Structure 1
Amino acid sequence: MGETVDPGPVSGRAILGQTLKVLREKAGKSLGQLAEDTGYDKSYLSRLESGERLSKVTVMEDLDSYYGTGSLLVGHWKAARLDAFKDQYKEFMKLEATARIMWKFSPGIPGLLQTEEFARGILVGAQTTADGEEAVEEQVAARLGRQYLLKQKPEPEVRLIMDEVALRRPASQGKTWHDQMLHLEAAALWPNVTLQVLPFSAGAHHHMNGSLTLLWQRDGSAVAYKEGNGCSRLIEDPDQVLRQRLSYDRLRDMALSPSDSLTFIRDVLEEHRS
């Protein structure tokens, strides 16, 4: 009796591609007909089905609507986007997706609040390979997909502290930066988001070289995640998580109040306009 060869785990992107193909064939559509019906390029749709590309989540929303499949494709897309990240970050993202409370500090504009063009500008600089453009688009799509977390029901309670340096290093394109600042201004008014700025006047602090995230689940369990200097660490030990929470509390004490932070953002926006 021959041995069975384990093909290994199937990627989320492959499952999404297979689902797209099955739905199209079940609807009796060719790739050409689907392209004509939806307005998406035929070769682009083909690459989605083969698992070669990761689309923006809005494409999956359109196709869910087209096939009448509720949020089936969006659900598969959420799993597929994890393929764009490293293993430890994947575990963090799974926890982030189910967290009821999020506390985050970022030296730059937090990924959860980046506009598409601003995110693209940051990610382009990190790509040096021939296939860099395609890799950038996949990472942009995955990053923007994380922002769905802020709108899911029930909405998580989110506190974001960002260093003033984030507001003093503009994007290379004026319109990109203007749109990003407007987005921050709008986000500061969202009911489930508390946005604070840590000003230069607060002086040196203990998280100048990296970001910190704290997540609480519905059952009260918590983890911390740190990134900086080219490395990352997921912290699950309760004592260490508590230390990170106290560390975050110190940052919050140093930061401007939410209302003063909104005024600060608006002042920077006005400076840019001038």
Structure 2
Amino acid sequence: MNVPSIGLGTYRLKGQVLIDSVHNALELGYRAFDTAQIYDNEADLGQALAAGKVAREDLFLTTKIWISNFHHDALIASLRESLRKLGTDHVDLALIHWPSPNDEVPMREYLGALAEARQLGLTKAIGVSNFTIDLTRQAIDILGAQAIATNQIEVHPYLQNRALIAYLRAQGIHVTAFMSLAYGAVLKDPVIQAIADKHGATTAQVALAWALQQGYAVIPSSTRRENLASNLKAVALQLDAADMAQIATLDRGERVANPQGIAPHWD
């Protein structure tokens, strides 16, 4: 399965704010939407998509299973509940949101349940999120690399995650980048700004194009229609080798998503 190159992330969006964002995104041409059980917005997203009148087969929906739902029966039941909230009989991609902290639930159990959910038709594809090299290696031993549609990880110019991405590429596992703008920090970077000025682009478009040109999928979020439209244009922005080399120098291992007690030991 091919993961769409750009979609709308919904982290921290709820209620009417999310509904309005999705409404604008659909009108502008977005067809991929990323949510998670812990975001507590699946029902809002489902409502917005139903009102949007875009055929289900033209949408690509991703949700992520939360760590409290990792035991076999709980995982499948929780995914069914996610589908009910989303107003669909399947998602296109179901991910393990974070590895089980301290291996509280064995990986074989929750990945086995996720594979079973796919066999049941609850999701078309499965994958992982926030998995390190070692955790991905374990997942491959359980599922096979070909079964893992993506590893959704934090990637932006300040955290380029090179070792993990090199490993994923060697295994043929697609990368989905989240936090592509590092909560807006990279938008103020003078190097990014200079590249944006050179191309007549925005700094957000440059940061997204940098990821897209390396083959990553991106899922930026925005509540403003003009930003949603602008982000889509990153697909057509072509950075040159000098631009990419300059951005490569910005890597400083600056991680934004690192929840205490949940995050693994990073590479």
The structure with the largest helix share of the pair is: 1
TM (norm. structure 2) is 0.28
TM (norm. structure 1) is 0.27
Larger radius of gyration: 1
